[in-house]
Amino acid sequence: MIYILDSSMILLLFVIILVVKSTIVYQNDYEPRVFDHIPSNCYDCLSYRDIILTQLTTIPERSFANFNLGSRDTNMILNGQLRLIFQPYAFQSLIVQKPNKTLTITFAAPNSWLNITENTFNGLDLRSYSTLRIIIKFFYGCTFHKNSLSGIKMGKHSRLILDISSVTQINFENNIIEQNDFSSSIDFLISRTDTILFDSYSFSSLNINSDQIISFNFELISHIHLKSYSFKSLQLQTSSSFRFYSVFLNRLTIDSYAFQNMSLDTNSIFNLTIQTLGACLCLKSYTFDNIHQMSNSRNIKILLTFNILRGLSFFPNTFSNLSLNNIENQLQISSDNLLNDPNPIINFAQETFSSTNSGLIKLNFSTTTVIRFEKNALKTDYLSHYIHLKDITLVDLSLFNSSHMKTDMNIYFDRVRYVKWFKSVEKNLM
C-alpha cells in the first residue's frame, strides 16, 4: 500500500515538473530576432519576439505570405540600408489575425524617399477585431501613389493605423484608394512634418461605412495643402464619422471645391478642428460645395472648430448649395481663443451661406477683437441661426439686411463691448 502511494507521489511530482518547465519563458525568448534578409518561411513569427529585418533595399511581391504571426501584440521592423522599395503586392497574403491585439510594422530608411506604389498593400488580409499599425519614420519624403492603399481586406471592427513622423514632405497623389475600399476604421497620425500635399482627387469618393471612423490627426506641421476636389464626394453612412484634427499647425491652405459634393446620413458627424494655427485661415469660395443629406436623414452634424488663430475669413459662397433639409441637421462653426491672445478678426463675406431648404446654422465665437458680417452674409430666407458671442470688442452688423428675414435668428451677447447695428434696428431703438 505504501509502495503504491510512493509511486503516485512520484508520478505527480513528475507531471508538476513537466508543467512548470513548459510554462517557463527564458529571457532569450523576448530578445528580437534579427535577419539581413526576408525569411522565405517563418513559422510562429512574432508570437512573443520582435523581428528586425535589416540591410533591406527591395521588398518583392508576397514577401510575407508564409508568415505565421501569432496572436500577441508584436512588432516587425523593416530597415532599409540606403533606401526601401516596395514592389506591387508586397504584402499580398499577409494575414493579420490578432483579436484585440496589434501588429506594428515599422518602415525606416534615413534620408531616403519612400514611395508607396500602386497595389503595395493589395491582398493584405486584416481580420476582425485586429489592428495593424504601420509606422513610417526617418524618411526625407513619402509619396502615396495611385491605388497605393487599395485592395486591403478589412474584417468587422478591424482597424488600420498609418503613423507617419519625422518626414520632411508627404504627398497623397490622386486616387490612392478605390471606392468602397476602406470597409473599417482608418487613422492617419502624422506629426513633425514640414509639408503635406493632398492632390486633387486624392481621397475622392471616400465611403465611410456605418459606425466607422476615418480620422486625420496632425501635430507640429508647417503647411497642409488641400487641393481642389481632394475629398470630392465624401460619403458618411449612418452613425459614421470623418475627423480632421490639427494641433500646432503653421499654415493651412484649402482650395475651392476641396470638400465638394459631400453627403451625410442619420447621426453622422463631419468634424474639422484646427487647434493653434500660426496664420490667418481663409476659407475660399465653394470650399464646401453641395453638402447634402441623404433621404430622410436626421441629426446630422457638421462641426468646424477653429481655436487660437491669427484671423478667420469666410469668402463668398464658402458654403454653397447647402441642403440640410430640416432643423435637426446643423452646421456649427465655433472659435475660442486665449484671453491674453484674442483672434483679431472674424469676417463673413456676402452670401457665405447659400441654401434652398431649411437647416440650422450655429455660430459660437469668443475672445475676438472684431466680428464682421457683410451684406447677406447670413442666409435668412431658409436657414435658422443661433449666434453666441462672448468677450468680443466689436460686432459689426451694420451691413446686415433684415428686410428679407423669414427664419428665426437668435443672437446672444455676453460681455460684448460694442455692437454696430443694422439700420432697421437703429430706427426702432430711436
Residues 239 and 186: their CA atoms lie apart, in Å, by 15
- More confident: 425 or 294: 294
Task: Please give the grid coordinates belonging to residue 346.
Answer: 472674424
The pLDDT value recorded for residue 406 is: 72
The pLDDT value recorded for residue 417 is: 93
The pLDDT value recorded for residue 414 is: 93
- pLDDT at residue 15 is higher than 90: no
Quick one: residue 148, left, alpha or beta (phi over 0 = left, psi -120 to 50 = alpha)?
A: alpha
Residues 287 and 266: their CA atoms lie apart, in Å, by 23
Name residue 44's beta-bridge partners: none
Mean pLDDT of all residues in 289-313: 92
Nearest Cα neighbor of 182 from 154, 217, 148, 144 is 154
pTM for the model: 0.88
Name residue 247's beta-bridge partners: 219, 275
- More confident: 44 or 25: 44
- pLDDT at residue 135 is higher than 90: yes
Residues 162 and 150: their CA atoms lie apart, in Å, by 14
Q: Count CB atoms within 10 A of the CB of residue 295.
A: 7
Nearest Cα neighbor of 336 from 271, 393, 412, 389 is 389
CA atoms within 13 A of residue 296's CA, in its CB half-sphere: 0
Sheet holding 153-154, edge to edge: 95-96, 125-126, 153-154
Give 239: exposed, middle or buried? Use CB within 10 Å, 0-12, 13-18, 19+: middle
- More confident: 251 or 343: 251
Mean pLDDT of the chain, nearest integer: 87
- pLDDT at residue 27 is higher than 50: no
Task: Please give the grid coordinates belonging to residue 146.
Answer: 495611385
The pLDDT value recorded for residue 62 is: 92
Residues 423 and 429: their CA atoms lie apart, in Å, by 10
% of the chain residues with pLDDT over 70: 89
pLDDT in tens, 150-171: 999 999 889 999 999 999 999 9
What are the sequence ranges of the domains in the chain?
A: 32-190, 200-430
Residue 200 DSSP code = T
Distances 38 to 63, 126, 140, 304, 344 between C-alpha atoms, Å: 7, 21, 24, 46, 57
pLDDT in tens, 311-363: 999 999 999 999 988 888 999 999 998 877 788 899 999 889 888 788 899 99
